Amino acid sequence: MHSYLTFSAEVQAARVSGKPVVALESTIISHGMPYPQNVQTARAVEQIIRDAGAVPATIAIMNGKINIGLSDAELELLGQSADAMKVSRRDLPYVLSSQRLGATTVAATMICAALAEINVFVTGGIGGVHRGAETSFDISADLQELAQTSVAVVCAGAKSILDLGLTLEYLETHGVPVVSVGQEEFPAFFTRHSGFPADFRLDTAEQQASFIHTKWALGLRGGVVIANPVPEASAMPQHEIEQMTVQALSEAQQQGVVGKAVTPFLLSRIKQLTGGRSLETNIALVKNNALLGAKLAIALHNCH
Ligand code: PSU
Ligand code: MN
């Protein structure tokens, strides 16, 4: 096993006894939600996975190591630290070699999960092709990672701060299957509807696991997007989100926000504009994804 990896006692025990493990990202903790809701949510999400019979492994970079599973103190440190670096693929060698504190994005969490032989990963929303990418070239490294790293990513779709049509086109070009759960449509994170169909609909964990197992058994490397719509009762009104997204996008442009700062800027601005409501939606959908991820990890475990 890779010398940069270090496992929590809980995850190490799961590896020894062969229990299914579910990876969780940490940018959602450091850059996606405010303290203390971020730490509370991270703990609640881990507990949902345990209660469903799998083992949670929140991933972050600390002291030159990739931590697979965090202790309570480590989770608290990450949740409170103002200077945790947002780490995607290109940032991994820097954060490790400089011994900085790093929170992993979807792309970096997939890389670390694969190194640790974990094949199911739960998050809120994936990155994608940004609106206006034809001039900004802003396309999340998450999409390239999905193209090449063999981890199933459970999410609630992607936020409409992105161009969801172009995001789906990009995934198609790179051979990444997009599977919706319980509906035909690709969900848009805060809402269940994007106006775009997913590639396939698979409602049960067994169907999803069989699909993923088949992909990898064929030697087709790369990820699968499992898009699990936010529960109806927790979804936000479509027009409201769209209005705030347009405002946040224009502010980002006026203020010259570029590069890796774009996504955190938009997420935090939308959070402010919706008051606490978008945060409640965000927490509900991550919990909903955690349950699905645990069931999927168990079903995939039984495929082998
Ligand atoms: N989208 C969300 N919530 C998030 C992110 C995206 O709805 O927290 C985070 C994830 O960590 C994702 C990253 O991998 O932002 C994408 O950033 P970028 O667009 O800079 O690649
Ligand atoms: Mn970007």
pLDDT value of position 91: 98
Give yes or no for residue 194 CB within 6 A of ligand 1.
Answer: no
Q: CA 90 to CA 230: how far, in whole Å?
A: 31
Residue 1 confidence (pLDDT): 62
Query: CATH number of the domain at 2-243+279-303, please?
Result: 3.40.1790.10
Record the tokens describing residue 184, joined without a space: 């035909």
Best residue for ligand 1 mutational test, from 154, 263, 266, 283 (most atoms within 8 Å of Cβ): 263
Residues of the chain with pLDDT under 70: 1, 304
The label of the residue with tokens 């172009």 reads 166
Is 159 one of the annotated active-site residues of the chain? yes
pLDDT of residue 197: 98
Percent helix / strand / coil, the chain, rounded to 5: 50, 15, 35
110: its two tokens: 């997939």
76 is catalytic: no
CA-proximal residue: ligand 1, atom 18 (nearest): 140
Provide the Cα torsion 254, 262, 154, 69; round to 10°: -140
Tell me, what's the pLDDT at 275? 82
d(CA 302, ligand 1 centre) in Å: 31
What is the number of alpha carbons within 13 Å of residue 265 lying toward its C-beta? Answer: 16
**pLDDT score, position 276:** 81
Would you state the pLDDT for residue 32? 86
pLDDT tens, residue by residue, 118-171: 999 999 999 999 999 999 999 999 999 999 999 999 999 999 899 999 999 999
For residue 90, what pLDDT is reported?
98
